[in-house]
Chain A
Amino acid sequence: MKLTALVAALAASLTSLAAPAQADVTHVAVAANFTEPAKEIAALFKQKTGHEAVLIFGASGAFYTQITHSAPFEVFLSADSERPKMAIDDGFAVPETVFTYAIGKLVLWSRVVDVTSGEAALRAGNFQKLSIANPVAAPYGTAAVETMKALGVYDTLQPKIVQGNSIAQAFQFIDTRNAELGFVALSQLHGVTAGTRWEVPANLFSPIRQDAVLLKTGANSEASKAFLAFLKGPEAKAIIEQFGYALP
C-alpha cells in the first residue's frame, strides 16, 4: 500500500516537473560579436514570452562545422550570410526562415596608440602587432583584410598581423595590450571608453550581413520560432541598434 502511494507521489512529482510545456527552451548558436546584444535580447525574450533561449557563443565557422555534425542547436545567428545559406543548401536549415538581423560595423581600436586618424595611423605603422579575427573563418576578419587592401596597406602590414580565432579573441589581444591595435566589431566597444577608435567607412569593405536561420532541429520548436520572430521585432531591433549595428 505504502509503496504504491510512494510511486504515485513520485509519478505525480515527475509529471509536474515536465508540466510547463508552453514555456519551452531553445538553444541558439550566437556569433561571438553578437554576445552582448544577444544576452539582452534573450533576457527580454524570456520576460515577454516565458520561453528560455540558451545562448552558446563562438566563431561562426566552428558553429557551422558543429551544425553539420548534428550539434544540439535550434537557431543559428551567424556573423555572415554565407554560412546560413550553406546550412540551407546542405539541408541543415529551414529555407524560408533566413533573414538579416544586423549589419556589422568595423572599428579600428587601440589602447596604446592614437588611431583616430585611421588611415594615417595604419600608414604610419608605429606599432608591432595588429590584431584581427581569422579572415578565413570570421567575417570581421575578412572585412579587416578588405579594408587594409582597399587602403593599400595590407602588404606592408601583413608581417605585423596576429589572428584571433574569433573576433572575441581579436578584441582580447588588444584589450590586454599584447597587440597595440586591431580591428574589432563596433558592438564589442559598447560601454568601453578606454583607448582610441576609428570607425571604418562602410565603402572600404563588403557589408557584414549577419543572418539568422532556423535549423532543421528546431523546425517544430515553438520557442525557436518565437525567438526568431522576437529578433525581428521592434524591441530586439532597438537593442541591436543600440549596440552599434546597422539594421537591414
Chain B
Amino acid sequence: MPDDIWVPIKLTIELATISTLALLIVATPLAWWLARSKAWFKEAAAAIVSLPMVLPPTVLGFYLLIALGPDGPGGLIASLWGARTLAFTFTGLVIGSILSSMPFVVQPIRNAFAAVGDRPLEVASTLRASPTRAFWTVALPLASPGLLTGAVLGFAHTVGEFGVILMIGGNIPGRTRVMSTAIFDFVETMRWREANLLAGGMVAFAFVVILAMTLLEKRFTRAGA
C-alpha cells in the first residue's frame, strides 16, 4: 500500500486509540458525577459537555484554532517546550478529538451508572465496602457495557471527525493528515482511486462498528435479563 494511504490510516488509528483512552479516563468520573450528584448546576454541566453534539465542527474548530494558538492557553502550554502553538500538532488533534467526542462517551456511561441505581451501592455499604471500593468493585463492573459502548462510540467518532481536524490540523503528512482529511484531499486533487480506497474502507469500518455495537448490546441485555 502506498505511503500516502497507509500513513493516514496508521495516524487515524493512533489518534483514535489515544483519544479513546483519554476520553475514558476523563469521561468516567464525569459521568459518575452526572449520574449521582444532586448539585443544582449538574444539568447545566451536562449540557456543556453535550454541546459538540449539536454545534457544527466549524464552531469547535474555530475556537480551538484560537485557544490552541499563541494567544490562548494552548500557546501557553506549547511554550513549555519552546513551541508557539498546539495547532498543527498531534497533541492538538487529540485535544480537539477529546472535546468533540466527549458527549458520545459520557452519555452511555452516565446512563449505565444511572441504571445501576442506589440499591447495589447501599448493599455494598452495608457489607462495609468503602464508597471507593463500591465504585471499583460494584458500580464499574455493573456499568461496563456502558463503558464499552462509550469507548466504541468515542473511537468511531474520532475516526470520523473531519471539520475540527481540517480547521486546526494544517494537513501535515504523518502528523495531522488523518483519513478523513486525506480523503478530502484526494477528492480535491482528483485522485479518485485513492479516495475510493479510503472512503470504501471507512464505510466498511462504520458498518462493522455499528453491527458490533448492536450485537454487543443484545448480548448484554440477554445476559442481564
* Interface residue B172 (Cβ < 8 Å from any Cβ of A): yes
- Using an 8 Å CB-CB cutoff, how does the interface string of A111-132 with B read, 1 for contact, 0 for none? 0100000000000000011010
CB-CB < 8 A to A169: which residues of B?
A: 167
* Interface residue B66 (Cβ < 8 Å from any Cβ of A): yes
Closest A residue to B190 using CB positions: A65
B190 near A129 (CB under 8 angstroms)? no
CB distance from A175 to the nearest CB of B (A): 10
- Chain A interface residue count, CB cutoff 8 Å, equals 25
* Interface residue B189 (Cβ < 8 Å from any Cβ of A): yes
Kindly state the separation between the CA atoms of A129 and B88 in the bound complex, as whole angstroms: 9
A-B contact count (CB 8 A): 68
Binds A, one of B13-21, B28-36, B68-76, B150-158: B68-76
- Using an 8 Å CB-CB cutoff, how does the interface string of A60-80 with B read, 1 for contact, 0 for none? 011011000000000000000
CB-CB < 8 A to A179: which residues of B?
A: 85, 88, 170
B170 near A173 (CB under 8 angstroms)? yes
Binds A, one of B46-54, B99-107, B180-188: B180-188
CB distance from A179 to the nearest CB of B (A): 8
Known pairs A177-B69, A178-B70; A163 contacts B172 (CB<8 A): yes
B189 near A61 (CB under 8 angstroms)? yes
* Interface residue A195 (Cβ < 8 Å from any Cβ of B): no
B84 near A180 (CB under 8 angstroms)? yes
B185 near A137 (CB under 8 angstroms)? yes
Interface on A for B, CB 8 Å cutoff? 59, 61-62, 64-65, 112, 128-129, 131, 134, 136-137, 161-165, 169, 172-173, 176-180
Nearest 5 interchain pairs by C-beta: A162-B170, A61-B188, A163-B171, A178-B87, A137-B188
